[in-house]
């Protein structure tokens, strides 16, 4: 498949938007996707899909009012009608005196995240990779399920004050679950470049977990020391970082309300947002076209900074950090390029130093129980192991936790090196594996 939207093509679409828009100010957000996903289960490819779409979203600003209209029909009459719809919708609402004019042109740091080989990966090439993973499963009478996807996305943001932002990037993902008669294992990796996906190693890791976790034993729910693999860390932390939006704090819906500049986490917790980190992804601008800045969120456990969209920054007397969502929206902003500092411990180091504890491969169905204490609940999945005297002993039946993630980040004893991590409950981040004491499990399931 080939990328459909170039900077030039986006500019042509925007020129038509400007031609037809009669709003005071106009912004156009143009996105293009061409992606494909090969899905396997029961040791066969059972679903195999592809999609392509280019969509235009127009935001009109008139008399302190704004609204958005979108279409994926890019002929001139459709563009014209979309411009008219955005303006008409804007006019049908009361004025908002706090609405800001559109931003002026900005300059952006460069990121290089587009790999033509990944954009053009064929269904045959994906099928051949999957076939080798299925063969690995069958070698040990395991059953494999998972996905191998690839594709490209392009995003262009233009406004009538001359702002121009364009970003293209490729995406690839490989995820595999290996199922044995009484156990399962899982591994997942994402990258802008599909050749960085070590599919054979991921399949091996999932297979080893399934084989070593067979005949899992019951374990009474209790507080245990846990070693969380990076995916388990990621999926918990995904529920925390939306609370670092300035507007969330301003409106009292963040767990950091009243806690900024305070020591909220342990001494060893350092977190920043950094779109330019080599293991990060995404465009170097936000939903209004403001450049994303590096922001230190947590230093030595102290909440140092929040992130601010333009309007939040004005409200709170801060500088915008380039983390706003496309307008109009209720949420404000969030840091979406999290990089957490880690340590030097390997998973083996963590296991060896643990007299009694659990190794957690991943969590599942995490939900927020309490928004201010930040208590989360969820289940372990696809590889929970009992550790005793510094060694993995056996698989354990899955457990439910109820744990404050704030408390958890005060109880981190060891960390591994941060790595690009993918899960199923959170956006991707660069996070380490962690050893955490007194992690609270509250009930067990039957497998």
Q: Which of 194, 209, 292, 381 binds another protein (CB under 8 A)?
A: 381
Does position 260 interact with another protein (CB under 8 A)? The reply is no
What is the footprint of another protein within residues 91-150 (CB under 8 A)?
A: 91-94, 96, 98, 122-124, 126-128, 130-131, 134, 143, 145-147, 149
Nearer to another protein, 55 or 347 (CB): 55
Six token digits for residue 318: 């801060």
Residue 320, phi then psi, degrees to nearest 5: -65, 140
Question: Parallel, antiparallel, or unpaired: how do β-strands 375-388 and 356-370 relate?
Answer: antiparallel
Burial class (CB in 10 A: 0-12, 13-18, 19+), 75: exposed
Segment 223 to 252, residues that bind another protein, using CB under 8 A: 223, 251-252
Is residue 427 part of the contact set for another protein (CB under 8 A)? no
- The SS3 call for residue 259 is coil
Examine residue 440 and tell whether it contacts another protein (CB under 8 A): yes
Q: How far is the CB of 381 from another protein (least distance, A)?
A: 5
Min CB(184)–another protein separation in Å: 8
Residue 333 structure tokens: 């902003």
Least distance (Å) between residue 123 CB and another protein: 4
Q: Binding string, 330-359, against another protein, x = CB under 8 A?
A: x-----------------------------
CA-based nearest residue to 245, from 155, 329, 167: 329
Find, among 101, 83, 115, the residue nearest to 15 by Cα: 83
Nearer to another protein (CB atom), residue 317 or residue 447: 447
Q: Least distance to another protein from the beta carbon of 25, Å?
A: 16
- Phi/psi for 393 (5° steps) reads -100, -50
* Residues between 267 and 326 with contacts to another protein, criterion CB under 8 A: none
**Interface with another protein, residue 15, by CB under 8 A:** no
Q: Which range of residues in 112-120, 225-233, 305-313, 398-406 is near another protein by CB under 8 A?
A: 398-406
163-222 residues near another protein, rule: CB under 8 A: 175-177, 179, 184, 186
258 binds another protein (CB under 8 A): yes
Provide, rounded to whole angstroms, the least separation between the CB of residue 418 and another protein.
Answer: 25
CA atoms of 82 and 252, how far apart (whole Å): 36
Length of the chain: 447
Q: Residues 202, 174: contact at Cβ < 8 Å?
A: yes
CB of 399 to another protein, least distance (A): 9
Binding flag, residue 398, another protein (CB under 8 A): yes
Binding status of residue 13 toward another protein by CB under 8 A: no
Mention every residue, 6+ apart, whose C-beta is less than 8 A from residue 19. Answer: none
Q: Which region, judged by CB under 8 A, interacts with another protein, from 109-117, 210-218, 386-394, 436-444?
A: 436-444
Distance of alpha carbon 377 from its chain centroid, rounded? 19
DSSP 90-115: HHTS---TTPPPPPPP-------B--
Instruction: Using CB under 8 A, pick the residue from 161, 369, 419, 427 that binds another protein.
Output: 369
**Cβ closer to another protein: 165 or 210?**
210
With CB under 8 A as the contact rule, the residue among 15, 51, 196, 262 that binds another protein is 51
Structure-block tokens of residue 251 = 């409106």
CB 247 within 8 Å of CB 129: no
User: Contact 297/335 with Cβ under 8 angstroms?
Assistant: yes
Residue count at the site for another protein (CB under 8 A)?
103
Q: Do residues 157 and 56 lie in contact, with contact meaning Cβ atoms separated by under 8 Å? A: no
């Amino acid at each position: 498949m080939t990328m459909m939207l170039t900077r030039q093509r986006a500019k042509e679409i925007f020129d038509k938007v400007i031609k037809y828009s009669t709003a005071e100010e106009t912004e156009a957000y143009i996105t293009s996707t061409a992606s494909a996903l090969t899905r396997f289960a029961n040791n066969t490819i059972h679903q195999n899909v592809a999609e392509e779409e280019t969509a235009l979203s127009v935001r009109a600003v008139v008399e302190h009012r704004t609204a958005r209209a979108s279409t994926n029909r890019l002929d001139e009459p459709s563009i014209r009608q979309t411009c008219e719809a955005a303006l008409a919708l804007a006019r049908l609402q009361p004025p908002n005196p706090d609405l800001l004019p559109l931003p002026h042109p900005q300059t952006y740091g460069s990121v290089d995240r587009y790999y033509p080989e990944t954009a053009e990966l064929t269904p045959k090439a994906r099928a051949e990779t999957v076939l080798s993973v299925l063969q690995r499963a069958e070698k040990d009478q395991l059953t494999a399920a998972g996905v191998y996807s690839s594709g490209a996305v392009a995003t262009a943001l233009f406004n009538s004050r001359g702002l121009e932002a364009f970003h293209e990037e490729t995406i690839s993902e490989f995820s595999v679950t290996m199922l044995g008669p009484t156990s399962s294992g899982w591994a997942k990796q994402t990258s802008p470049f599909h050749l960085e996906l070590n599919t054979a190693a991921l399949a091996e890791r999932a297979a080893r977990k399934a084989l070593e976790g067979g005949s899992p034993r019951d374990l009474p729910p209790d507080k245990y020391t846990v070693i969380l693999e990076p995916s388990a860390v990621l999926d918990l932390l995904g529920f925390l970082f939306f609370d670092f939006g300035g507007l969330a704090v301003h409106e009292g819906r963040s767990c950091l309300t009243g806690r900024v500049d305070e020591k909220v986490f342990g001494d060893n917790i350092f977190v920043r947002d950094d779109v330019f980190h080599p293991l990060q992804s995404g465009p170097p601008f936000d939903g209004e076209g403001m450049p994303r800045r590096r922001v230190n969120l947590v230093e030595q456990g102290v909440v140092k900074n929040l992130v601010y969209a333009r309007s939040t920054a004005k409200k709170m007397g801060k500088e915008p950090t380039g983390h706003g969502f496309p307008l109009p929206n209720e949420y404000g902003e969030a840091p979406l390029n999290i990089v957490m500092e880690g340590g030097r411990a390997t998973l083996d180091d963590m296991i060896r130093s643990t007299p009694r504890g659990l190794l957690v491969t991943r969590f599942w169905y995490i939900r927020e129980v309490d928004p201010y204490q930040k208590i989360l609940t969820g289940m372990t999945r696809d590889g929970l192991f009992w550790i005793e005297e510094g060694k993995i002993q056996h698989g354990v039946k899955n457990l439910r936790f109820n744990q404050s993630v704030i408390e958890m980040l005060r109880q981190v004893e060891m960390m591994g090196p941060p790595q690009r991590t993918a899960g199923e409950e959170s956006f991707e981040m660069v996070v380490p594996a962690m050893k955490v004491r007194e992690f609270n499990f509250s009930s067990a399931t039957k497998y």
